[in-house]
Amino acid sequence: MAQPTLLTYNLKPGTKAGLVGICQRLNIRIREVGRGEYVLPIGALAGIPVMRTSAPVPVEAFDDEMLVMCHMLSDGLDAFLEAMRDDCLPRIPLKAVLTPANVTWNSTELRDALTLEHSMMRMGK
């Protein structure tokens, strides 16, 4: 299995420093995704050879903080999220796990889906 990896987007300096410490403790590779990479499939950013099923679409840059947890088994995912709480890191609402459903999405597509999902949860739907 591939090394657990955390894809990060637009982190504030304090949050980034806290996540780097957590990732070092838990042996999670951390990878900051640059705006020029938003067009790439999430799976490719996580080191998976991915072929898109459609042509790449232009993407918008975004400023939201976002995390994508890749190649993490259930126990590792739980330990990571618990460490974020224990270390009192600021809340990052846009979090996802790499799945077969989102592996071909680009960063903006994932951000849009997470934003909609987060909005629906806040409205109780």
Q: What is the mean pLDDT of residues 88-110?
A: 94
| pLDDT band of 59, cuts 50, 70, 90 | confident
Taking only the tens place, the pLDDT of each residue in 67-84 is 999 999 999 999 999 999
pLDDT digits (tens, 9 = 90+) for 5-49: 999 999 999 999 999 999 999 999 999 999 999 999 999 999 998
Amino acid identity of 2? A
Domain boundaries, the chain: 5-122
pLDDT > 70? residue 54: no
Nearest-angstrom CA–CA distance, 75 and 101: 21
For 5-122, give the CATH class.
alpha beta
Strand order in the sheet with 5-9: 29-32, 5-9, 66-70, 94-97
Tokens of 100: 């077969």
The per-residue pLDDT for 122 is 80
The closest of 2, 1, 7 to 30, measured between CA atoms, is 7
Cβ neighbors of 12 (< 8 A, separation 6 or more) are 65, 90
Q: Does position 57 have pLDDT exceeding 80, yes or no?
A: no
| pTM for the full predicted model | 0.91
